[in-house]
Amino acid sequence: MLPEGKFAYAGDFRFQFQITIDGERHASNVLVNRHVDTSHPEFDPFFDELVFVHSEEEAVDFPDNVIVAWPNTGIFTEGLIYNIHWAVNRTPDDWVGRPRRDVLTLEEFGLSYPLTVADLVDNWEKVRALWRTFPGSEQQTILSRARGYEAHIAERALREAEAAATDY
């Protein structure tokens, strides 16, 4: 059975997944979900381990029963890390109208500033412990802001490309 907390962490942080079916590797979050969701008709208890690696290039030479996951290389992950920093750096004065929590430091969790994409893999249990101290509403705000950051960067790149095209 796959460790539920580790799988949820990877899902929350938009990790990419790879699964091997009939000897063929598939980088597909949809296929992974089908094979690990116990209520899905394609559920297969054969897949019983989840390993984190830093990149798709490292996701080779694992036994077929191992699902491999790595952080998204897109802008979302940058936004996620930025917004975790934002949340950690909030002060009690920032809590107007929000559930209160104690002020946090990365060091309390055995982490150091700045968090990196490598920390999401190498120190995932520490990052998860930090993540779980945020109230659900704050987690959703962090994820929403990361998605917004991703959209903002994409929109800015499109505007810059359009401006460059009109210059010629």
Question: In angstroms, rounded to a whole number, what is the distance separating the alpha carbons of residues 128 and 106?
Answer: 12
Note the pLDDT of residue 93: 66
* 127 plus 46 within the same structural domain: no
From first to last of the 168 residues of the chain, give the pLDDT tens digit.
667 789 899 999 999 999 888 888 888 888 888 888 888 888 877 888 999 999 999 998 899 899 999 998 888 899 999 999 988 887 666 656 665 567 788 999 999 999 999 999 999 999 999 999 888 888 998 998 888 876 767 677 677 777 767 765
Note the pLDDT of residue 94: 64
Q: Kindly state the tokens that stand for 47.
A: 């897949």
* 55 plus 132 within the same structural domain: no
Q: Kindly state the tokens that stand for 130.
A: 């930090």
| Domain final residue pick, 19, 44, 70 | 70
Note the pLDDT of residue 109: 95
Q: Distance of alpha carbon 155 from its chain centroid, rounded?
A: 22
| Domain final residue pick, 70, 96, 124 | 70
DSSP code per residue over 90-130: --GGGGTTS-------GGGGT--SSP-HHHHHHTHHHHHHH
Q: Which residue has the tokens 């109230």?
A: 135
* 53 plus 12 within the same structural domain: yes
Note the pLDDT of residue 95: 58
- Strands 24-26, 16-21: pairing is antiparallel
Q: Which residue has the tokens 């920390």?
A: 119
Number of domains in the chain: 2
Q: What is the pTM of this model?
A: 0.80
Note the pLDDT of residue 166: 72
Give the domain range for residue 79.
75-166
* 65 plus 93 within the same structural domain: no
* 57 plus 105 within the same structural domain: no
